[in-house]
């Protein structure tokens, strides 16, 4: 299955080809609508891309979006996730504001990393994992085995 970005690139290449043949934007959009259905880009977008392709050498046009200025989305990268996870493992009562101040990212990004990415939730003012990890399941199994053996030993002494 093609990703949405791949689908946009395909549609832009169709627009480039049909615009080079001299088709009008309305005709191009109608033809694309029959092929792509609900996933087709709007008629305004078709007109925008026709203007971009008009007058350019087809060998030099790019179908990809141009780079934009602005802040990159780097607050949820692997390094930040590891730092947040280490802080929570060191102190389960740590607050999101403290994590945000320590690492230097927004409180909203900390909340996203903690709840969505790492899968923690707040229980009795502590961050606890939503699901048991393989390590936790092994510890739980060992503890239950120890309790079971202890119980049978105590029962046999009577």
pLDDT in tens, 99-149: 999 988 889 889 999 988 888 888 888 888 777 778 888 999 999 999 988
Query: What is the reported pLDDT for 13?
Result: 86
In this structure, are residues 10 and 2 in contact, taking their beta carbons and an 8 Å threshold? yes
Class of 76-158 per CATH?
mainly alpha
Angle between helical axes of 25-36 and 4-21 (0-180°, round to 10)? 140
Query: What is the reported pLDDT for 86?
Result: 92
Two structure tokens written together for 155: 């029962």
| pTM (two decimals) | 0.41
Determine the CATH number of domain 4-53: 1.10.10
Run of H or E residues at 58: none
Q: Binning pLDDT at 50, 70 and 90, where does residue 27 land? A: very high
Query: What is the reported pLDDT for 31?
Result: 92
Q: Quickly list H helices, 22-157.
A: 25-36, 43-53, 78-90, 96-103, 107-112, 134-156
**Phi, psi (5° rounding) for residue 39?**
-85, 5
Q: Of 96, 123, 16, give the one whose Cα is nearest residue 63.
A: 16
Measure the CA–CA gap between 4 and 53, rounded to whole angstroms.
21
Question: 55-89 pLDDT, tens per residue?
Answer: 666 566 666 666 766 665 666 788 888 999 999 99
Query: What is the reported pLDDT for 154?
Result: 75
Two structure tokens written together for 38: 């609900």
Residues of the chain with CATH 1.10.10: 4-53, 76-158
């Amino acid at each position: 299955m093609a990703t949405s970005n791949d689908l946009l690139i395909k549609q832009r290449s169709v627009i480039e080809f049909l615009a080079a043949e001299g088709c009008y934007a309305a005709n191009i959009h109608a033809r694309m609508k029959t092929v792509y259905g609900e996933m087709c880009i709007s008629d305004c977008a078709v007109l925008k891309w026709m203007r971009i392709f008009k007058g350019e050498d087809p060998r030099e046009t790019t179908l990809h979006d141009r780079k934009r200025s602005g802040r990159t989305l780097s607050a949820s990268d692997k390094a930040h996730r590891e730092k947040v996870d280490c802080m929570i493992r060191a102190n389960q009562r740590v607050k999101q504001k403290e994590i945000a101040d320590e690492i230097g990212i927004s409180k909203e990004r900390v909340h996203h990393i903690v709840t969505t990415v790492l899968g923690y939730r707040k229980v009795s003012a502590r961050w606890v994992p939503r699901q048991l990890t393989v390590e936790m399941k092994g510890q739980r199994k060992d503890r239950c085995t120890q309790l079971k053996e202890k119980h049978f030993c105590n029962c046999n002494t009577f």
